[in-house]
Amino acid sequence: MTNFLFPILGYVLGSLPFSIWVTRYVKGVDVRDAGSGHATTTNTIRQAGFGWGALVLILDIAKGFLPTFLALKYSGETWVIALTATLAVIGHCWPVFAGFRGGMGLATAGGAALAVNPLTFAVSLGLLLLLVLVIRHSARASVVTGILAAPVLWLAHIRDDSMWVMAGAGLVIAIRFLIDWNRKYRELWLDREKK
């Protein structure tokens, strides 16, 4: 029965909308009312500044790291660890404490990967950066990364619990980023439209 507490904790912690709380505290605005319309680090930077955005990034990583680490330490069951991480990312994307309108899940997934295997975090981040450079569209690169992360880890012989963490979290990220598939980015250096 205890094994089911970790996934619940994952969703609850994932649902803590730090970017919304921080921008509301600092600027008195809802972070979702500008930029991409999502509760993300980049939107926090746009509205509250780099320092506050860095704080949100750290907190979003932590809410993926903490429940996954606890599941790893006190359960050790692969399905519990993977489900906990996946529900943390789901909580970040569709938070119960923010009307189910949250962020995109990358930082929280990164925190979950770090909790299990830092090499998995590095490989997944490297894959994302490579695909952003090749595809030149952040949302599409994130969708493809979400789909390919676990197979790439398997090919790299990283076949521990972290592969299953990225299988679950990656699927959520792929689904979440589909909303921005056709979005024209103007705010990111790489995605600026040509004049």
How many Å apart are CA 100 and CA 95, to the nearest integer?
5
Condensed to tens digits (0 to 9), the pLDDT of residues 40-58 reads 998 999 889 999 999 999 9
Token couple for 94: 């569709």
- The answer to whether 60 touches 107, Cβ cutoff 8 Å, is yes
**In Å, what is the CA distance from 63 to each residue of 76, 110, 161, 168?**
19, 10, 18, 16
The string of DSSP letters for 133-181 reads HHH--HHHHHHHHHHHHHHHHHHTT--SHHHHHHHHHHHHHHHHHGGGT
- Which of 4-8, 33-37, 86-90 has the lowest average pLDDT? 33-37
